[in-house]
Amino acid sequence: MKYEIKCIGVLTSGGDSPGMNAAIRSVTRAAIFNGIRVKAIYRGYKGLITGEITEFQTQNVSNIIQQGGTILKSARCAEFRTPEGRKMAFDNMEKHGIDALVVIGGDGTFTGARIFAQEFNVPIIGLPGTIDNDLYGTDSTIGYDTALNTIVEAVDKIRDTASSHERLFFIEVMGRDAGFLALNSGLASGAEAAIIPEKKTQLAQLEELVKNGFRKSKNSSIVLVAESELTGGANALAEHMRTEYPEYDVRVTILGHLQRGGSPTAYDRIIASRMGVAAIEALLEEQRSVMIGIVNDVIVNVPFTKAIKDDKPVNEKLLNVLHMLSI
């Protein structure tokens, strides 16, 4: 069944990430430029079910490109996981004359979008908005670069205290089951090690660091830890070190939601703007159920199934770089 796209809905779902507003702005203005009306859907899929929908004009997205968070808000929605909830969402789409959706979020957002598209034959395009950078098919997700810079700035400040008091700091960063933030912020901040879920043998490497580096040539050390059951998190690793090496002053800092906030970097604003335009172009080209990605600075379309199910590998060679530079 062929759709003529006259009106699109745009929503943000899942965890917020810097650059989402830039993406909303881009989608809205690219659609209007191409003669397509835009309906803003508040609070993600929940708003699609409850009917929190309003029409956007170009002025609605003025002066938001520099703002963190999302002006459309975000919310978890257990009801959208049910056939009844998705039917209510589709009924509201029809009620508001929405022909297609652009959804901005992570793998959970795209999982819901893929099921919804299959059930109701709705054209949906996804934009990767997550600081974790864990979606297959794109070099970078919207918000990742900003989060990375936020972490590095925080680690630089912690380094001052670590050096002053000769401490070993474990700094936990977000990433869930992906080590991109921990590994790259470790490199950028001059950390001594990065503990990531993709690498299973790092505890021994960490102990080697403490024996050979911290004891002999360092009066302080910084270790970046990805939050994950696979790594155990910063607190578990710190407790292990306190037990094995009670002579050291071990401290923990969990950066938490600090990493999600703040004004997006220029890079995040640029890729959000490019991806938003590409989403509208994809709809006009009758694409559906694809995520807009960027690979080697070129926009690509990635099927939801691949973006969600395929694992995005970290470059483990960067661990060797970090190891060499930590001596």
Catalytic positions, written as ranges: 132
E strand or H helix at 221: strand 221-226
CA 235 to chain centre: 23
Rounded CA gap, 256 and 49, in Å?
Answer: 30
Question: Which of 218, 199, 200 is closest to 210 using CA atoms?
Answer: 218
* 3-class secondary structure, 302: strand
List strand residue ranges (DSSP E) for 13-74, in order.
37-41, 53-56
The answer for residues whose C-beta is within 8 angstroms of residue 265's C-beta and 6 or more apart is 18, 145, 146, 149
142 DSSP 8-state letter: B
Instruction: Indicate the residue type of 301.
Output: N
Q: What letter does residue 150 receive in the DSSP assignment?
A: H
Do residues 147 and 131 make contact, with C-beta atoms less than 8 angstroms apart? yes
Residues 6+ apart with CB under 8 A from 114: 124, 289, 304, 305, 308
DSSP summary character for residue 151: H
Tally of CA atoms within 13 A in the half-sphere of 28 that contains its CB = 24
Quick one: 257 exposed, middle or buried, by C-beta within 10 A (0-12, 13-18, 19+)?
A: exposed
- Cα(15)–Cα(257) distance, integer angstroms: 10
